[in-house]
Structure 1
């Protein structure tokens, strides 16, 4: 039976050494390889090996044994001896085996006898010990030493790892115990802190609620006190307003009573004059009838005397009926016109005696008045610039006041004249210079006699031209009198400005609602009903009626009732179709109670026309 070929079940490499050498090596090649292997092991080992040699092996040549040098060297290892080696060090060899050569144990013949099939015949150690030479035994010893050393190193590493693992486990257990203890302590501390915080929050909330309740009580007491004070103030104010209203009513009633008495006295006077005229006419007629019985010369003389006597009696009556106005209004007009005349003379004398050019100030005042619009910004700007001319310029106050009066009245003829805005500027300026208001009113009286108010009777004038000039009609460049419609347009603009002036409720207004109420009473009592007076009345009440009603209430309504019952009925009785528009206008104003609504333009517009400012 031939030999058994065993294959090692160990790693093919260990420490970069191949366990399966080339089977075709010669013995010399094997010796050379062993020497190189010893040198490599000695140089790579950290601990000196006990069998390390400094000199290489001097083995006899295999030719002396009668073998051919070309025959291969076969190293045989029994399988039973390698079982434990493979089982214990398989993992170590797998991890530490590196690149190197491999020894191949092929053609391992255990025995040539016929009893090779029996297991007892395979006794590897004696046979192998007897058969191997020194190199093979050295290699085997080296392999075993390496296995023992590797096993010992593995055991040491495993022991160190077990010790380290146990130490780490103990540390982890201790750390976990400490962490758990810390967690419990922290949880207990958090619980205590939460309890403390909740207690503090509850105390703070209770204090806050107490403070809020106390503040609410104090505030409620203050509100109650304020309400009581406001109620007392409102009560006192209401009583004061009622007392003031009662006084105003009593004053208005007294004024109405005086106006009524004045009207009655005027009617009585008129009746007395009429009776006197009739008596004079009757006397003249009686005297004329008596002279008819005398000779012709005496008759002619008596007739001429009667005619002359009649004319002398009629003239005073005609003169008395020439002007229809209240005496107080005529007195005020005369005083204002006298001031205007005196100031005009002073200004003319000043211009003639001074070399200063005052015309530029007059042009500046005229320009500023023409630039006034119905916005708050425009009114404030023009008021400021006009006050600069009055107070901070070398222009004399007399000249600036006269120029203001003339330019304001002249600007009324401009279409779309903002009467309320101009009135606001005039009132603010005249509050600083009160004498300027009399000059403006004097100029208005000269331009429109119905601002007095007064009216001239047509029968007192010899021609229509003289009558129209007395009413205020203007002549053109050719000397022609303007038309009635043109005159009524100017009259309406003047009356609108006058109504806007008197309705200004500024405390510094020197010609305010009191003067407006006096004008309306004088108008109703003294002026006749015609087209001119109707236009003047309509323009005035549309501008000032709202403010007059707010101040005089029932007394103003009484005057409107007088206008409706007497003035409008007198207009209707004339049967003039040209009066119908103004009659309808006044009647609708009274019946629709338009005096309850604020007139358009009374409130100045802001620049953005979104807000409104009450002057």
Structure 2
């Protein structure tokens, strides 16, 4: 039994040794088969195994279990390496395909963006064309609406003026009828008295006829004498004014058209026939207050314009006040509105147009008032003539010279140049508002034709200075739209003269105020302001406050 057990043990040991050798041989074969791998992979595997798997040596004796574990661990390691390598290859292929897809998608996106840009560009062009069409249509509708409003306002003013004229004629007819009835009654009374006292009446009538004839002859002689004296006074005043201009202006050059100077002298002579302080007399102070009150209540609305014009026409037609005195008071008060109102306020332009309507309505019924208005304009602002006085040397530029060209004194001191230019612009705006105002069916005694003549004489005779530039800009700002509408290309030629001749001469002088005046004129021409209707040209029907509280 013991021997058998030993034999079995030996056989088992032999078998175990055989199996160990087979495993070793197998492991050895597997060991050397790894040489087929790339050197880099072998180095990586050796680095990874460094410190974890002990190097395998064939000559080293180990137990069977350790050898098996070592071989299994190595096989597992090689298998993991192979799987990692395959996964890396798959990931690389996937990455390359993803890059290709990304490049393709980016190319498609760029192509889509370019197509969208082209579509947006086409849409922008289309929308811009549509916007331009809509804007043109809107501007056309606005212009047509303005023309309709203008026609409505003119028709309304014309109808009101006709109504006032009809009422005035009706009242005159009534007064005439009453006067005729009174005359008839007086005649009947005289006839009855004559029937009772025939002889005495005949004698008294003869004496009265003789006396009346003598008085008539005397009155006719006095009238002819007074008319001759007035003509002599006018002529003498004109001659005196001419000599006065020559004598009072040493060292001063007068820039003006000859016909304009003659018209100014004639109107000033007419104005000088009425004393300047006539409003302070007790006899006519009531008319002065009445006219001043009517003008003081003037507002830029059609209702106010009609009411004030009616009041002023009635005042000028008064029987108690002579017509020349009433006309001078009216001219003085209507132009003094420049001093009584704030000329720097934006609403002054609206008020100037309202004054233009009032002046047209009044002078169309009382034509004599226009000469007094123009004379008053020439008195307060020489650029309404148009006329310019230029001092030839520094000695002439004294207090008398500045008073002569229109500077006002305040507390013994002359006003500043800025204040003077502000009033010059205001007076010229008021003058331009008067000449550009038109009412259909109403004849204008001093309308756009006179404004065209004024502009031509201004550019032909007056030099380019700060004051003339301010006056020219004020005139164009108010009357330029109406002149362009009526004269068209001829008006554009005058604007070209301003651009080519007047502005360069003005810019050469180089002061701050002159630069500002030149800039205003340049902007007027560049922005084509003459194509836009001036603000306030069309009067409101009534004030907003009146609408709210009625």
TM-score (norm. length: structure 1) = 0.45
Q: Which has the larger radius of gyration?
A: 1
Higher relative contact order (Cα pairs below 8 Å, separated by 6+ residues): 2
TM-score (norm. length: structure 2) = 0.50
Bigger proportion of residues as helix? 2
